[in-house]
Structure 1
């Protein structure tokens, strides 16, 4: 029954991961803390077991619907990989309670930035990339470092920057962010696992559930209007922050 519950939980998170292009880790981390009492570091490591395969499948689904430029993906992913490893090495040695409050602040700042971007009276992006490889590599490094530190892969950081600064649409940004998240979540999971911050018996069933449902979330992302998807993303970030605050 526990395995079935974990799989159902993973399925729900998979839908959200596909919808927002984040692999489901943002909701998994506070949920694991609230439902099972895991500390922040253990919740982040366990969530990554689900996030890594979810990101792989979601990336493929986004690429099928809207081809991801491999040059852009490589610039983001390579820098993200290196800095995610550095961020995860720092995270595994920090106090779990301090990490949780840091994550709450991180989510609130991201939600505020997204809200400002969503409700300002400026034209929506048309999908053209305004900046080249150096800027993408810098974004990949910064997002990877934060993703490795907080166990979320960096996609949640890269998505609003890609729409606001690089001029991409929301779905293009989410696809590119998944390309960034794939190598960074992989190296972050490895780091957490080597330091015994992963509950595999929980994470593996969650990953199975997520793989079965994440494609539905991707379909929903392409069906929603651009502005509605951005607003949902803001609300999602605030919900995650509130869930973590209850636990903290």
Structure 2
């Protein structure tokens, strides 16, 4: 593991607080911010940043679920079906994390962010629709969970930036239900991937604890913001943020 600079504990605290707001606002685990922040400000390499981020997502997601559940914006059945696929997928992702070359991980992360940016402009959010469950849609949710779990283990993300747009576009969920359900699904997914990462020594446990707990304290601010913003405004704000992350990652990849 990289040596921590003296300021790193404060850095972890600030990263967690920012990620917590982001998590509650967009229904994501916060890894989309935590991974590049640990790379840029804490001297982590890609593998350690991804593994540490995934561990930090656990308390952060739990906090967000509470906020959305109080408003009735969590589909428990859909979350359980997603988990059925994601837990095994996260284990597979954690294996790949320890074996894939560093630049492959960087390139995967860049492509992933760009795909999400495009999908945000294709989403037509709504506040008055639920997930219509059928056997076929249930099987599709399990498959979606599997794919998300693999990416979660590899990239150190909770999977919300896949789950939220897909639940809205494909499964007809409202944006708030998609966000609340996504956060609930992330808890066991992140836990599963973290167990594998700890075994493979790709987690800085103390750093993950500081980031995760500080994030849990600010997640509710993001939940309140999600309820105040219109669905379209929230998507645009998120897309702009991801563009900044994509630029940072592309520049880092080009520098080698």
CA contact (8 A) 2:96 2:154 kept: yes
Matched with 2:99 is: 93
Instruction: Return the alpha-carbon distance in structure 2 between the equivalents of residues 36 and 3 of structure 1.
Output: 9
Residue in structure 2 matching 1:226, options 224, 231, 247:
231
Q: Which aligned segments of 4 or more residues in structure 1 are displaced greater than 4 angstroms? A: none
Would you say 1:127 and 2:129 are equivalent positions?
yes
**2:4 aligned partner:** none
3-state SS in 2 of match to 1:104: helix
Look up the match of 1:170: 175
- Cα distance in 2, alignment partners of residues 127 and 148 from structure 1: 31
1:103 matched to 2:96? The reply is no
Which runs of structure 2 are paired with 1:34-183 in the superposition (5 Å)?
A: 34-117=40-123, 124=126, 126-132=128-134, 133-183=138-188
TM superposition shift of 1:131: 4.7
Show CA shifts across 1:66-122 (max 9, x none).
Answer: 24232222111121111121122122211122201111011101111222335xxxx
When residues 125 and 167 of structure 1 are mapped into structure 2, their CA distance, relative to the original with a 3 A threshold, is: farther
Matched, 1:213 2:218: yes
Which segments of 5 or more consecutive residues in structure 1 lack a partner in the other structure? Answer: none
Distance 2:102 2:226 in 1: 33
- Contact 1:147/1:155, CA 8 A, preserved across alignment: no
Give yes or no for contact 1:144–1:180 (8 Å, CA) kept in 2. no
TM-score (norm 1): 0.91
Q: How many residues align?
A: 244
Question: 2-side partners of 1:145 and 1:202: how far apart?
Answer: 23
| 5+ residue gaps, structure 2 | 1-6
Q: Does the 8 A contact of 1:45 with 1:189 survive in 2?
A: yes
Within 2, Cα distance between the matches of 1:227 and 1:189? 33
| Alpha-carbon RMSD | 1.8
Q: Secondary structure at the match of 1:221?
A: helix
Aligned to 2:86, what secondary structure does the other structure show? helix
